[in-house]
Structure formats: C-alpha cells, structure tokens
C-alpha cells in the first residue's frame, strides 16, 4: 500500500516559487552545482535562463553522457483500441469524436506485435483508450503472456489501474507503466476533462505510485504540453519525480514531454510551447534528475529529434502508427493524433548512428522477471 500520497501545490504557489528563483546569477550558480533541488529547477525553468540555453544544453549533454553513454533506446507504440469512455477535449479518441472505433482481437494484436518484432523492435508500448469493459486487465495479461518471450520489455499506457492489477500484469510480463497527468494545473485539468473517470485528478495523480508499489520495474510520468504554463508543468514534474524517487527508489523513472498535435476534434492548444521552450524544459529536468529516462516521441519532427540527440533525451519512438491495426493495415483511420516524424525505425537508427550514438533496441531481459515457480520478482530483489 502507498504510505503517503503525492500532492501538488496549486499553480499560483508554483508561480511564486518560479518568480523568486528568476535571477540570472542564480541560474549561473545552479549550473555549477552538483545537486540543484526544486529552487534550482525553478531557476533553470525561469525566463532568466532563456538566454543561457546553450549553457543549459552543454550541462545537460555532459550529465546525459556520464549517466547513459552515447545511447538512445528505441521503442514502438502498439495501439490496441481507440474506444474511450472519457471526454478529453484535446484527444482524437475522445468519446465526443466520431471516428472508426475498434479493439484488436488477441490474434490481431499479436499480429501487429509480430510486425514490429520483424522490424527489429524489442521494446514495445501497448496503448489504448480508457474503456475497461472493452480492454481490461484480462486482455492485457493474456497479450503479455503471448508476447513476453519475444520482447525484451513490454510497457503499457492504458487506463489507471489498482495496485493488485499492476502486480498481476507484472507477473504476466509487463515491465513498465506510463501514466501522464496531462496537466498538473487543477483548474485547467477540470476545464479540458469534460466527462469520465479521468475527471478524478487525484486518482490519476496517485497512479504512478500504485504502479511502483506493485513492483513495476519502471514508471513513466509526463505532461501534455500546450494546456498550461510549461514552466510550471516542469516544476510539477520535477516535484513528482523527486517524490517518487524518495518513496520508490527501486523503480526506474521516465519523463515524457508530449506536445499537443493536430487530432480529430480541432482542439487548439491553450498555450504556446515552441521547440526552444521544449528544449529548456528537457535540459532543466535532465540537470535536475540525472537518472531519469527522458522520452522524445514521434510527435516531434525528425529535424528537432535529430538535433536533440545527445543533449538530454534517452529514448525515442520510431516508425509509429497511432491507429489500432495500423501496422498491418496502414490505410486504417481512427488515429489518436497525427505524428511529426514519419521515418522508419531503420532511418531513425541510421540518423542516430550518423551522429555517433548507438540506437539500443534491448536493455532488459524478461528472464530477470522470472523466479522458480513462474511468479514474478522485482529486479531489485534479484
């Protein structure tokens, strides 16, 4: 059980913290420090750091090289279902939208996975809308059992679950859980989540802790950029990360920075987040937490992703399709959003190699997860 719950200060309080740290001399001081803390993170996210972006990039690159070497881990999403009972204003899968809906049969899901396997992927992320009656824990457990011997790591990005469910899925072969808060600003959260279980801000906020408490090897958090002030989202992400590190130090943590992409429903971003802002956010979080895996997905364009190799991110998706069944049938519609980087996995890997980095397709083995009798054990207990 989770002993204590994570709470996020309201954004007015975070703004006061940011304003108090907005000082160029403080940014210079933080860039020389080994451990920077929340006020240091606030300085790096503040407007005072905007004109020092190259110094932030250099520091972030040094830390990333020291902790991760010259590597970028590669993965692909596998969309299982676009049914969703929630009404999120910004998402193509929202129950409000009239799109072609489908949930893959177990055989279809396995076929999609084997296409990715054939393309060389060893790490996959199973994704679905939030409709537990159509795609629940039984489905995920059965699929994981079918795939666990073919993939080195299987992650999920599905509806928030209970701790017991996560423990069952870990035993079935799922190693990681990604659950993004979307926005840590309660006011904006209420504004863009119109109906469905996702309206419960606190239940979602406590989900990463439930997954970690269940023994998941890795937990991912994130904010959808374009909903609320990106500097304050960055501060909230840093606080969440620090809290999870303190309470679940055995669990590896990742952070994702999805920027809003065009999707069915014509939702327009509420705030602007350009590539320069996204870069500042990534560098600041890398300097704040040297060990966090930082994801940069195909939402971003190839030019930007290539430019960020070595500067902070450690994990790239590649060759992605966001419509269920879209790898076997590229003509299918019903995607969650349109992607920005259309290169194949081979092209992404070739461009990473050209920059002198190794695209890594496997950094974990399922045998670490098996103990005598077929049950699961955490990596930390090996």
Q: Quick check: 176 and 152 in contact, CB under 8 A? A: no
Of 81, 86, 181, 279, the one binding ligand SF4 (CB under 6 A) is 86
Residues of 332-351 as b/e, b for ≥16 C-beta within 10 angstroms? Answer: bebbbbebbbebebeebbeb
Q: Which stretch binds ligand SF4 (CB under 6 A): 42-50, 87-95, 353-361, 373-381?
A: 87-95
Q: Dmax of the chain from CA atoms?
A: 59
Q: Does 264 bind ligand SF4 (CB under 6 A)?
A: no
CB of 200 to ligand SF4, least distance (A): 12
Rg (CA), the chain: 20
CB of 84 to ligand SF4, least distance (A): 3
Q: CB nearer to ligand SF4: give 36 or 192.
A: 192
CA 11 to chain centroid: 22
Of 64, 94, 176, 183, the one binding ligand SF4 (CB under 6 A) is 94
Q: Does 36 bind ligand SF4 (CB under 6 A)?
A: no
Listed in sequence order, the residues at least 6 apart from 72 whose beta carbon sits closer than 8 Å to its beta carbon are 309, 313, 314, 315, 316, 352, 357, 358, 359, 360
Q: Which stretch binds ligand SF4 (CB under 6 A): 19-27, 83-91, 355-363, 367-375?
A: 83-91
Of 52, 84, 125, 205, the one binding ligand SF4 (CB under 6 A) is 84
Which 97-136 residues touch ligand SF4, going by CB under 6 A?
Answer: 129-130
Q: Does 64 bind ligand SF4 (CB under 6 A)?
A: no
Q: Which of 19, 21, 18, 134 is nearest to 83 (CA)?
A: 134
Q: CB nearer to ligand SF4: give 60 or 320.
A: 320
Instruction: Report in angstroms the alpha-carbon separations of 380 from 164, 173, 217, 252, 267.
Output: 19, 16, 8, 10, 43
Q: CB nearer to ligand SF4: give 21 or 128.
A: 128
Which 191-210 residues touch ligand SF4, going by CB under 6 A?
Answer: 198
CB of 224 to ligand SF4, least distance (A): 8
CB of 96 to ligand SF4, least distance (A): 8
Q: Give the Cα separation of 61 and 263 in Å (integer).
A: 33
Q: Does 189 bind ligand SF4 (CB under 6 A)?
A: no
Q: Quick check: 351 and 343 in contact, CB under 8 A? A: yes
First to last CA, the chain: 22
Q: Does 161 bind ligand SF4 (CB under 6 A)?
A: no
CB of 286 to ligand SF4, least distance (A): 26
Q: Does 279 bind ligand SF4 (CB under 6 A)?
A: no
Listed in sequence order, the residues at least 6 apart from 107 whose beta carbon sits closer than 8 Å to its beta carbon are none
Q: Quick check: 44 and 283 in contact, CB under 8 A? A: yes
Q: Does 244 bind ligand SF4 (CB under 6 A)?
A: no
Q: CB nearer to ligand SF4: give 136 or 307.
A: 136
Using CB under 6 A, list all residues that contact ligand SF4. 84, 86, 88, 91, 93-94, 129-130, 198
């Amino acid at each position: 059980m989770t002993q204590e719950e994570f709470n996020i200060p309201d954004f007015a309080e975070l703004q006061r913290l940011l304003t108090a740290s907005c000082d160029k001399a403080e940014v210079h001081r933080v860039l020389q420090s080994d451990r920077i803390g929340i006020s240091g993170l606030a300085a790096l996210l503040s407007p005072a750091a905007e004109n020092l972006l190259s110094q932030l990039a250099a520091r972030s690159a040094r830390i990333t090289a020291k902790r991760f070497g010259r590597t970028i881990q590669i993965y692909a999403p596998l969309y299982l279902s676009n049914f969703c009972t929630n009404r999120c204003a910004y998402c193509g899968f929202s129950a409000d939208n009239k799109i072609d809906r489908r949930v893959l049969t177990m055989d279809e899901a396995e076929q999609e996975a084997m296409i990715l396997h054939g393309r060389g992927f060893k790490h996959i992320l199973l994704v679905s809308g939030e409709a537990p009656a159509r795609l629940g824990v039984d489905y995920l457990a059965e699929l994981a059992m079918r795939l666990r011997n073919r993939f080195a790591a299987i992650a999920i990005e599905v509806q928030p679950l209970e701790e017991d469910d996560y423990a069952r899925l870990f035993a079935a072969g799922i190693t990681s859980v990604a659950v993004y808060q979307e926005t840590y600003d309660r006011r904006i959260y209420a504004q863009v989540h119109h109906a469905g279980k996702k309206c419960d801000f606190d239940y979602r906020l406590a989900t990463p802790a439930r997954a970690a408490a269940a023994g998941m090897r890795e937990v991912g958090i994130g904010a959808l950029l374009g909903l609320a002030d990106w500097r304050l989202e960055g501060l909230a992400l840093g606080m969440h990360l620090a809290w999870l590190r303190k309470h679940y130090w055995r669990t590896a943590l990742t952070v994702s920075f999805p920027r809003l992409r065009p999707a069915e429903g014509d939702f327009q971003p509420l705030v602007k987040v350009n590539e320069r802002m996204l870069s500042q956010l990534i560098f600041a979080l890398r300097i704040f937490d040297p060990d966090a895996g930082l994801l940069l997905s195909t939402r971003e364009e190839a030019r930007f992703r290539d430019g960020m190799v070595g500067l902070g991110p450690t994990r790239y998706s590649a060759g992605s399709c966001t419509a269920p069944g879209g790898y076997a049938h590229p003509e299918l519609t019903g995607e969650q959003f349109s992607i920005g980087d259309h290169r194949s996995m081979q092209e992404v890997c070739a461009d990473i190699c050209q920059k002198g980095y190794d695209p890594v397709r496997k950094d974990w083995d399922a045998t670490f997860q098996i103990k005598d009798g077929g049950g699961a054990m955490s990596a930390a207990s090996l």
